[in-house]
């Protein structure tokens, strides 16, 4: 998809991804939405790192026109965490990578888009991925 005048998309083979290191998303959802709207950006995916939310909080968090597609939240430590929001009209499948995540070392989440099998993975604090992770990618 490609953005055109008036913020409408025309059909192409392009995909738009917005990434932001939020340093805590609490009370910033309005700020993120305004930033995207002011710049006339309607990405297919929004990848957020360092959102600092717990599992119970991320499932309640919302962005207009998007749904939570995948996430990793810390259980033991504060901060960190990653998530992917996807536009309501984009077809996807969540890839469960939680078994490979380790707080403060490797925090990631992933989706598979149904556009020529594109895989998108969002990483945070990546040190050295395990051999098993390299195999699935």
Summarize pLDDT for 20-53 with one digit per residue, the tens: 888 888 766 666 654 665 466 788 888 988 989 9
The confidence score (pLDDT) of residue 4 equals: 42
The count of domains in the chain is 1
Query: Which position has the token pair 């993120």?
Result: 32
The confidence score (pLDDT) of residue 40 equals: 67
pTM assigned to the model: 0.74
Q: pLDDT > 90: what percent of the chain? A: 29
Per-residue pLDDT for 113 more than 80?
yes
What CATH number should be reported for the domain holding residue 21? 3.60.10.10
Per-residue pLDDT for 87 more than 50?
yes
In which domain, by residue range, is 110 found? 2-136
């Amino acid at each position: 998809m490609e953005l055109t005048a008036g913020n409408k998309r025309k059909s192409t083979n392009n995909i738009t991804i917005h990434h932001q290191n939020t340093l805590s998303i609490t009370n910033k959802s309005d700020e993120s939405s305004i930033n995207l709207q002011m710049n006339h950006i309607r990405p297919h995916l929004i990848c957020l790192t360092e959102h600092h939310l717990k599992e119970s909080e991320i499932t309640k968090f919302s962005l207009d026109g998007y749904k939570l597609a995948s996430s990793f939240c810390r259980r033991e430590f504060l901060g960190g965490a990653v998530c992917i929001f996807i536009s309501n009209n984009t077809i996807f499948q969540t890839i469960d990578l939680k078994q490979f995540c380790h707080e403060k070392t490797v925090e990631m989440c992933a989706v598979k888009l149904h556009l020529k099998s594109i895989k998108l993975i969002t990483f945070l604090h990546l040190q050295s991925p395990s051999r098993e992770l390299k195999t699935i990618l």
